[in-house]
Amino acid sequence: MLNYVEFFDKGVALCPDRTFLVDGDVRMTFAETARLTHRIAAGLLAAGVGPDDPVATMAPNTAAGYTCQWGIIRSGAPWLPVNVRNGIEENLEVLQRMRARFLFFDSSLTDEACRILAEVPTLRAAVCIDAAAAGCPALESWLPPDDGSTGTYHERGPRDVVSIPTTSGTSGRVKGVQLSNASFAAGIANYLALMPYDVAPVTLAVAPLTHGAGYFAGTTIPLGGAIVMHRDTDPGSVLAAIGEHRITTLFVPPTLLYGMLAHPRVREHDYSSLRYVISGAAPLSETRLREAIEVFGPVFCQNYSQTEAPVTVAFMTPRQHVEALADPASEGRLRSVGTEAPFARFAIMDDDGALLGPGERGEIVVRGELVMNGYFEDPEQTAAVSAHGWHHTGDVGVVDDDGYLYVVDRKKDMIISGGFNVYPGEVEQVIWSHPGVLDCAVVGAPDEKWGERVVAVVEAEEGVEIDAAALRRSLRERLGGVKAPKEVLLWERLPRSGNGKVLKREIRRRFWQGLDRSI
């Protein structure tokens, strides 16, 4: 099995002189990028960074920041990605809890870097990737001379840790997810088996490359895939960039996709280069999915995975979407996330560890090389999610007779109202279909009569006014008295994470604040 960096080197060997990274006016070929990664790796070893010393990157989507990521991986040290869209307090917790030893940061984050240097005691040194800042050298002055050698770095095997992304899940506590060479190799194998290319891939990097978007971008590198950095999340600029750069591959979280579809000029751009538009990170509105296929063509994919089992567990290909749309008997599959990826296994399990059959609802569990080694220095949590020989996702799902997986909700998000189980995802699908709704979240709020009452918090499209009372009546007609929200609230903006996920726990906390119970 190849180590992750060897997939990068395949791209270098295939087309050394092809442009690999595009960042504004900056163009870097595969060969140029590879040389820089060797110098970064050599610099880390000269600085005393060992194979168990996490090295962090904290930068927006830039060519220099992405190159540092590969330099860290090449050195054999674990790469610790830091999401710049998170708040400084959360990123401080990430760096402290994971005991970061070295930091590469962008000068736009100098204030944050100053705090990190002062408050993360394990840090040995830091380098600013684009200019001297915060008392730290610029990358160019820190790098050892380019002597043309490839260097000797820390030896790493298939199950050695390559990266430690972090996740808070439903608990709110940061956990370090230890991903191995085998995890990434399985992810690349799944992706390329499911998404073949008839042209050289070009990925538009809009979502942070430190997270899911980076995993997907990395899978095209062995094919000589180029990556275009795009720091602007304005939907209109994303739409224009597709045609300008002849983008083949775009990973978008649902929130950005909804904004793109709602843009007044969405049908005026050229999308003929697109091969795959991938949605992941959160459930997708079936109504918007249909619209996306109409606008962008038969290129839409849905992906199911999580940080602990990255890239692809289940996948809905463009062909499967087209087939579901063409056959009324199969259109319900549009609500699924597809079928099992070639190099992964999923199943549905009850609370006692028994595997369930088609149509039975339970927790989604996963097996395969892609699953993490465990949580960083957290054997208790690792054991909890590894019970019965499967990785437990915390998601509730069901599999139909044809093997299509449907994600119903997060296990801990389930609302028990009047003794009945209500899954917010089912209610949200109906709300998303209402005209003018950009996004929504359904949570349980305390109620003396029902124990929990179903509450919908709705964000309208820009310039649209929604009648909350009329929406509530419509939902009651469609969902019945148990599932329909007892209350519909209109918020200007829903709280979101740096990855664009709606933070349900933040919404829920507002209703339960000050109480001695949370269920």
The tens digit of pLDDT for each residue in 96-129 reads 999 999 999 999 999 999 999 999 999 999 999 9
Closest CA to 161 of 54, 69, 70: 54
Residue 171 has pLDDT above 50, yes or no: no
User: Is the pLDDT at 516 greater than 60, yes or no?
Assistant: no
* Nearest residue to 242 via CA among 222, 263, 221: 263
**DSSP for 459-492, written as a single string:** EEPTT----HHHHHHHHHHHHHHHHS-SEEEE-S
- Secondary structure element (H or E) that encloses residue 255, with its range: helix 254-262
For residues 39-58, one letter each, b for 16 or more C-beta atoms within 10 angstroms of the residue's C-beta and e for the rest, the string is bbbbbbbebebeeebbbbbb
Give the per-residue pLDDT at 10.
97
For the stretch 478-515, pLDDT in tens is: 888 888 999 999 999 999 877 678 888 899 889 988 76
Please write the tens of the pLDDT for every residue from 395-452.
889 999 999 999 887 787 888 787 677 888 889 989 999 999 999 999 999 887 777 8
Residues 6+ positions from 508 with CB-CB distance below 8 Å: 443, 444, 445, 518
Instruction: Calculate what percentage of the chain has a pLDDT beyond 90.
Output: 73
* Residue 281 binned pLDDT confidence (cut-offs 50, 70, 90): low
Q: Collapsing DSSP states into helix, strand and coil, what is residue 389?
A: helix
Return the H-helix or E-strand segment holding 96: helix 88-97
Q: What is the mean pLDDT of the chain?
A: 92
Per-residue pLDDT at 245 exceeds 60: yes
The pLDDT, as a whole number, for residue 515 is 64
Note the pLDDT of residue 409: 74
Are 269 and 243 spatial neighbours (Cβ–Cβ below 8 Å)?
Answer: yes
Q: What is the pTM of this model?
A: 0.84
Q: Which residue has the higher pLDDT, 196 or 448?
A: 196
Mean pLDDT within 262-288: 87
Domains of the chain: 29-148 (3.40.50.980), 184-411 (3.40.50.12780), 414-512 (3.30.300.30)
- In angstroms, the CA 213 to CA 249 distance is 10
Q: Which comes out higher in pLDDT, residue 474 or 149?
A: 474
Q: What is the pLDDT of residue 518?
A: 52
pLDDT at 517 over 60: no
What's the pLDDT score for residue 167?
84
Please enumerate in sequence order all residues whose Cβ is within 8 A of that of 227, keeping only pairs 6 or more positions apart, or say none: 20, 21, 22, 66, 202, 203, 205, 209, 217, 220
pLDDT bucket at 459, cuts 50 / 70 / 90: very high
CA distances from residue 41 to 45, 102, 357 in whole angstroms, order as listed:
6, 12, 49
Q: What is the DSSP letter of 107?
A: G
Sheet containing 345-349: which strands, arranged edge to edge? 345-349, 362-367, 391-399, 405-410
Percent of the chain with pLDDT over 70: 97
Give the model's pLDDT for residue 501.
Answer: 81
Contact 260, 288 (CB under 8 A): no
Query: DSSP for 323-348?
Result: HHHH-GGGGGGGGS--EE-TT-EEEE
Tens of pLDDT, residue by residue over 304-322, are 999 999 989 999 999 999 9
